[in-house]
Amino acid sequence: MRVGIQGIPGSFHHQVVLDYFGNASEISYYKTFEQVAKAVFEGRDQYAVLAIENSIAGAILPNYELIDRYGLSISGEYYLPISHNLMALPGQKIEAIKEVRSHPMALLQCKKFFEAYPEVLLIDDIDTATVAKRIATDGLKGIGAIASKTAAAIYQLEILASDIQTVKDNFTRFIILQREKPESTDAVNKISLKITISNEKGSLAKLLTLLSDYGLNLSKIQSVPVIEKPWDYAFFIDAQFEGHVDFRSALAKIKLEGAEVKVLGEYISRK
Ligand X SMILES: O=C(O)C(=O)C[C@]1(C(=O)O)C=C[C@@H](O)C=C1
Contact residues for ligand X, defined by CB under 6 A = 7, 11-13, 51, 54, 60, 82, 103, 105-106, 127-129, 172
The CA distance from 55 to 109, in Å, is: 9
Least distance to ligand X from the beta carbon of 172, Å?
Answer: 4
Least distance to ligand X from the beta carbon of 206, Å?
Answer: 34
Dihedral sign of CA atoms 250, 251, 253, 259 in order: positive
> How many CA atoms lie within 13 Å of 2's alpha carbon, on the beta-carbon side?
13
Least distance to ligand X from the beta carbon of 245, Å?
Answer: 31
The continuous run of DSSP H or E covering 262 comes out as: strand 260-267
Q: How far apart are the first and last CA of the chain?
A: 25
Task: From 144, 148, 25, 23, select the one nearest 81 (Cα to Cα).
Answer: 148
Q: Which is nearer to ligand X, 146 or 251 (CB)?
A: 146
Q: Which is nearer to ligand X, 162 or 184 (CB)?
A: 162
Q: Which is nearer to ligand X, 171 or 233 (CB)?
A: 171
The CA distance from 222 to 183, in Å, is: 26
Backbone angles phi, psi at 8, to 5 degrees: -130, 175
Least distance to ligand X from the beta carbon of 147, Å?
Answer: 7
137: left (phi over 0), alpha (psi -120 to 50) or beta: alpha
Least distance to ligand X from the beta carbon of 20, Å?
Answer: 13
Q: Which is nearer to ligand X, 172 or 192 (CB)?
A: 172
Least distance to ligand X from the beta carbon of 118, Å?
Answer: 23
Task: From 120, 51, 54, 111, select the one nearest 88 (Cα to Cα).
Answer: 120
Count Cβ atoms within 10 A of the Cβ of residue 53 and give its class: 0-12 exposed, 13-18 middle, 19 or more buried.
buried
Least distance to ligand X from the beta carbon of 59, Å?
Answer: 10
Q: What is the CA radius of gyration of the chain?
A: 21
Q: Which is nearer to ligand X, 92 or 172 (CB)?
A: 172
Task: From 175, 170, 144, 164, select the one nearest 68 (Cα to Cα).
Answer: 175
Cβ atoms 4, 48 nearer than 8 A: yes
Q: Which is nearer to ligand X, 104 or 182 (CB)?
A: 104
Q: Which is nearer to ligand X, 106 or 136 (CB)?
A: 106
